[in-house]
Amino acid sequence: MTSSTEPAVSIRGLSKSYGKTEVLHGIDLEIARGATTCLIGPSGSGKSTLLRCIAFLEEATGGTIHVNGRPLGFEERPDGKRVRLGPQRIREVRSGIGMVFQQFNLWPHMTALGNVTEALVTVRRLSRKNAEERGMAQLRHVGLEARAHHYPSELSGGQQQRVAIARALALEPKILLFDEPTASLDPELTGEVLNVMRKLGEEGMTMVVVTHEIGFAATVGQRIAFLDHGRILLNGTPGEVFSDPRHPRLTQFLETYL
Ligand code: ADP
Ligand code: MG
């Protein structure tokens, strides 16, 4: 059983190296359940790497991640030894995590509905009919039911990203991760994507959002974590982090992005 006060994700001493270069240096972070956590920080600070470790798209080189109390990928034994878990246990925990990327990564040869239902049929083994029902419900959720039979090339960037969100939602994740979901959109299209995300937050989805949209982070984020050079420098409510930005690195960052 997981209690509602237990964090959805608990990260302890997480480090990640590429070759000899360590890019995450012992990250400790708890992701609150049912809340939106915004991860901000300069380019190259390690935001994507951290998110990809939580999605297990990258394997951390040290430390542990627990998702709803269960170890993801690695666990620490009582003797302190860090061991890799078997593929089945990795799959089970990973299947509760969805991810939305900056580049929407839709299949160009499939319609919006095809994109949303593909994994439901091939991975989750739903019947085509069930998959399409669930897919349509998720397209409705993001306001795109009327575009179900359109191809990505026939959709705006904002619509494509909403299809990508519907695709992630269709797999019924417990946690949804977003890596700069509006960074490739024209400014007039970011609002529709942020609105969908705001709605998901209000519905109680646990989300981690890497974003340079400081206005969104300040209004929708319930927790803000500021990452710099592979370390969490600040972590708290928007009020705590933004209203008193005495930290020189945060001040510098905000001057660049506000
Ligand atoms: P952010 O998302 O905050 O811009 P990243 O997580 O993408 O930062 O990158 C953090 C650091 O890790 C950067 O110095 C980047 O060059 C490095 N890095 C990211 N991915 C790789 C990789 N696949 N191989 C080597 N270095 C990488
Ligand atoms: Mg990045």
> Which of 14, 18, 257 to mutate for ligand 1's pocket (most ligand atoms within 8 Å of CB)?
18
Q: Which atom in ligand 1 lies closest to the alpha carbon of residue 43? A: 4
Q: Which one of the ligands is nearest to 44 CA?
A: 1
State the DSSP string of 52-66.
HHHTTSS--SEEEEE
Check residue 249 and give its pLDDT.
84
Determine whether the shortest distance from the Cβ of 3 to ligand 1 is under 6 A. no
Please, are residues 9 and 175 in contact by the beta-carbon 8 Å criterion? yes
Q: pLDDT of 49-79, one tens digit each?
A: 999 999 999 999 999 999 999 999 999 999 9
Distance, CA 205 to ligand 2 centroid (Å)? 22
Check residue 104 and give its pLDDT.
94
Please, are residues 30 and 39 in contact by the beta-carbon 8 Å criterion? no
Check residue 251 and give its pLDDT.
85
Residues whose Cβ atom is located within 5 A of ion ligand 2: 48
Check residue 246 and give its pLDDT.
72
Return d(Cα 46, Cα 231) in angstroms, integer. 8
Distances (CA, A) of 252 to 25, 105, 178, 181, 186: 21, 32, 24, 23, 25
Name the pLDDT band for 250 (thresholds 50, 70, 90): confident
- pLDDT above 80 (res 3): no
Choose among 154, 164, 206, 205: nearest CA to 184. Answer: 164
Determine whether the shortest distance from the Cβ of 46 to ligand 1 is under 6 A. yes
Choose among 207, 215, 242, 206: nearest CA to 226. Answer: 242
Check residue 193 and give its pLDDT.
96
Return d(Cα 65, Cα 56) in angstroms, integer. 10
- pLDDT above 80 (res 90): yes
Check residue 247 and give its pLDDT.
81
Distance, CA 46 to ligand 2 centroid (Å)? 7
- pLDDT above 60 (res 18): yes
State the average pLDDT over residues 30-43: 96
Check residue 234 and give its pLDDT.
92
- pLDDT above 90 (res 207): yes
Q: pLDDT of 101-131, one tens digit each?
A: 999 999 999 999 999 999 999 999 999 999 9
Check residue 202 and give its pLDDT.
96
Q: pLDDT of 213-246, one tens digit each?
A: 998 999 999 999 999 999 999 999 998 898 766 7
Name the pLDDT band for 186 (thresholds 50, 70, 90): very high
Return the higher-pLDDT residue of 191 and 253: 191
Q: pLDDT of 137-155, one tens digit each?
A: 999 999 999 999 999 999 9
Q: With a threshold of 0.90, does the pTM exceed it?
A: yes
Distances (CA, A) of 244 to 30, 171, 213: 22, 39, 18
